[in-house]
């Protein structure tokens, strides 16, 4: 029995729909999905730096632009924390590298620093394979190790945010990680800083629903994957009043006020220190990474800014089923009625359009629409349906040729003399 071309198209379309729905329901392209959004946002999304600075957000960053050893850094951080506490800073976050050398000098500096109740140490998640960076989208990596290896009783939290390179999307785990030694909960350092800022005890349980973490008057949304998403929006000049470096010809660290040039303007420096009063201060250190400046402080400044301003990225993938159904029907009809070359061109345009719409929603409406699962039926339709059409048309041509051959034979038999037909 020969299958009509229309039925072949129906079978091919149903196969494409079934494959697409299986991939969506199982989230089989999870890793590729994050790569595609990171690629798109990193290369096609540009944050609007013209947005007015948010001076009302109580966030400050104090960067140290000099490479140094861990013990030297912690010794400097100890002095900075004492100064910040004296001017009235509410919380100070000190990001640490993944591995802290537990030398006597390092432990002593951490002990001295921890005596100031405003200090929190931030520790990246434990890497699983060598030096590979922590990935919050992988639950198997939701672990962190104690920065002092449980030799000191200090206040610390996990830096669960680890955006991919060239991406403006910041995912983090508001419910925190687990200690890879004891298995006890380790709060996210940003959430812990907010608890300190709001006067909530460190060990107080926060009301947690399936879709949000309630932090005093602020609610942090939690998506189905356990993550909360925000983005780099702008770098506010109000976030940084001081920076520290070694000036040319100097052998000690000097502080520069960002409002004026030079380190000899004592009045400007004192005013810059006073600007940290009542703020959450994040100390930034170039020694944490190979980047020209550490990303952790700026990442958590944006996370804290999102909490204060209640501006998070919302994920909307409930349109996937409707979009997949519509695209399969549309592309099936289109492939049946037009040439394959035009059909493949339309598929490419739709794939690029899906990516462009995703970037537009992200930039203008704070909506994360993951285009990978919508691109699956587009790609499958652009590959499978032209093959179905070529095979079906080939069969139709073969049937037509056979029909013409049979008709030609019949006409030849009719034109032959009766005697010849009788002999045959």
Q: Does residue 197 belong to any structural domain of this protein?
A: yes
Query: 92 to each of 50, 98, 113, 323, how far by Cα in Å?
Result: 29, 19, 10, 47
Can you give the residue range of the structural domain that contains 106?
59-314
The predicted pLDDT at position 219 comes to: 93
Domain boundary among 279, 314, 349: 314
DSSP result, 222-275: --TTS-EEEE-----GGG-SEEEE--TT-SS-EEEESSSS-S--HHHHHHHHHT
108 and 236 together in one domain: yes
Distance CA 108, CA 117 (A): 16
- For 284-343, write each residue's pLDDT tens digit: 887 555 443 346 788 899 999 999 999 898 887 778 888 889 989 998 888 888 888 888
Q: What is the pLDDT of residue 119?
A: 94
Residues 267 and 377 both lie in one domain: no
At 156, is the pLDDT very low, low, confident or very high (cuts 50, 70, 90)? very high
Q: Do 116 and 133 fall within a single domain?
A: yes
Do the domain assignments include residue 391?
yes
Same domain, 155 and 205: yes
Do 225 and 120 touch, CB atoms closer than 8 A? Answer: no
Q: What pLDDT is attached to residue 130?
A: 44
Nearest Cα to 327, choosing from 367, 354, 358, 355? Answer: 354
Q: Which one, of 324, 318, 331, 385, lies nearest residue 19 by Cα?
A: 324
> Average model confidence (pLDDT) for the chain?
81
Tokens of 376: 């699956």
Residues 271 and 184 in one domain: yes
Classify residue 52: in a domain, yes or no: no
292 vs 142 pLDDT, higher one: 142
Q: Are 317 and 223 in contact (CB under 8 A)?
A: no
Is the residue at 106 inside a domain? yes
In a domain, 53, yes or no: no
Backbone torsions φ then ψ of 64, nearest 5 degrees = -115, 110
Q: What is the rounded CA–CA span in Å between residue 66 and residue 254? A: 11
What pLDDT, on a 0 to 100 scale, did the predictor assign at position 19?
92
Beta bridge partners of 230: 170
* pLDDT of 83 over the 70 cut: yes
Helices vs strands, H then E, count in the chain: 11, 16
My answer on whether 348 and 403 are in the same domain is: yes
Residue 188 confidence (pLDDT) = 95
Contact 159, 189 (CB under 8 A): yes
Q: Mind listing the pLDDT tens digit for each residue in 206-239? A: 887 778 899 999 999 998 888 999 887 765 567 8
Give the span between the Cα atoms of 147 and 124, in whole angstroms: 10
**pLDDT > 70? residue 90:** yes
Task: Determine, yes or no, domain membership for 334.
Answer: yes
Helix H or strand E encompassing 43? helix 30-44
Whether residue 298 sits in one domain with residue 149? yes
Of 8-22, 325-339, 409-423, the range with the lowest mean pLDDT is 409-423
Q: CA-based Rg of the chain, rounded to a whole angstrom?
A: 31
**Would you give the DSSP letter of residue 90?**
S
pLDDT band at residue 187 under the 50/70/90 scheme: very high
199 inside domain: yes
- Alpha-carbon span 322 to 369, nearest angstrom: 14
Q: Are residues 303 and 321 in the same domain?
A: no
Q: How confident is the model at residue 414 (pLDDT cuts 50, 70, 90)?
A: confident
Same domain, 252 and 155: yes
Residue 244 maps to a domain: yes
Sorting pLDDT into bands at 50, 70 and 90, what band is 59?
A: very high
Q: What is the pLDDT of residue 47?
A: 55
Residues 205 and 350 in one domain: no
Helices 30-44, 340-365: axis angle to 10 degrees equals: 70
Of 290, 314, 338, the last residue of a domain is 314
Mind spelling out the 3-state secondary structure of 351-387?
HHHHHHHHHHHHHHHCEECCCHHHHHHHHHHHHHHHH
What is the pairing mode between strands 280-285 and 59-64?
parallel
For 189-201, the pLDDT digits (tens) are 999 999 999 999 9
Q: Whose CA is closest to 34, among 169, 228, 140?
A: 169
């Amino acid at each position: 029995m020969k299958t009509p071309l229309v039925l072949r198209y129906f079978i091919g379309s149903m196969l494409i729909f079934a494959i697409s729905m299986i991939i969506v329901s199982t989230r089989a392209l999870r890793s590729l999905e994050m790569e595609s959004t990171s690629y798109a946002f990193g290369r096609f999304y540009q944050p609007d730096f013209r947005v007015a600075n948010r001076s009302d957000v109580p966030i400050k960053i104090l960067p140290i632009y000099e490479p140094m050893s861990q013990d030297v850094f912690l010794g400097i951080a100890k002095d900075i924390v004492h100064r910040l506490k004296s001017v009235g800073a509410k919380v100070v976050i000190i990001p640490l590298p993944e591995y802290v050398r537990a030398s006597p000098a390092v432990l002593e500096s951490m002990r001295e620093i921890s005596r100031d109740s405003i200090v929190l140490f931030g520790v990246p998640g434990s890497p699983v394979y060598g030096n590979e960076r922590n990935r919050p989208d992988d639950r198997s990596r939701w672990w962190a190790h104690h920065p002092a290896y449980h030799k000191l009783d200090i206040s610390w939290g996990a830096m669960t945010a680890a955006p991919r390179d060239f991406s403006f999307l910041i995912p983090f785990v508001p419910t925190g990680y687990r200690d890879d030694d004891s298995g006890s909960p380790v709060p996210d350092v940003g959430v812990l800083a907010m608890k300190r800022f709001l006067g909530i005890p460190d060990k107080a349980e926060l009301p947690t629903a399936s879709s949000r973490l309630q932090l005093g008057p602020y609610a942090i949304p939690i998506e189905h994957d356990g993550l909360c998403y925000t983005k780099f929006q702008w770098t506010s000049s109000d976030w940084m009043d001081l920076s520290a470096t070694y000036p040319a010809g100097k052998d000690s660290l000097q502080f520069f006020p960002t409002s004026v040039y030079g380190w000899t303007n004592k009045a400007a420096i004192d005013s810059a220190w006073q600007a940290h009063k009542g703020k959450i201060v994040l100390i930034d250190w170039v020694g944490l990474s190979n980047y020209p400046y550490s990303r952790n402080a700026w990442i958590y400044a944006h996370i804290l800014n999102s909490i204060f301003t209640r501006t998070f990225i919302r994920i909307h993938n409930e349109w996937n089923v409707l979009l997949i159904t519509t695209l399969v029907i549309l592309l099936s009809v289109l492939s049946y009625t037009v040439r394959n070359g035009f059909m493949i061109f339309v598929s490419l345009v739709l794939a690029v359009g899906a990516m462009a719409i995703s970037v537009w929603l992200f930039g203008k409406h704070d909506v994360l629409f993951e285009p990978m699962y919508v691109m699956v039926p587009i790609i499958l339709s652009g590959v499978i349906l032209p093959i179905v059409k070529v095979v079906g048309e080939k069969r139709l041509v073969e049937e037509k040729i056979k029909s013409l051959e049979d008709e030609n034979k019949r006409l030849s038999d009719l034109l032959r003399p009766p005697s010849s037909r009788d002999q045959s």
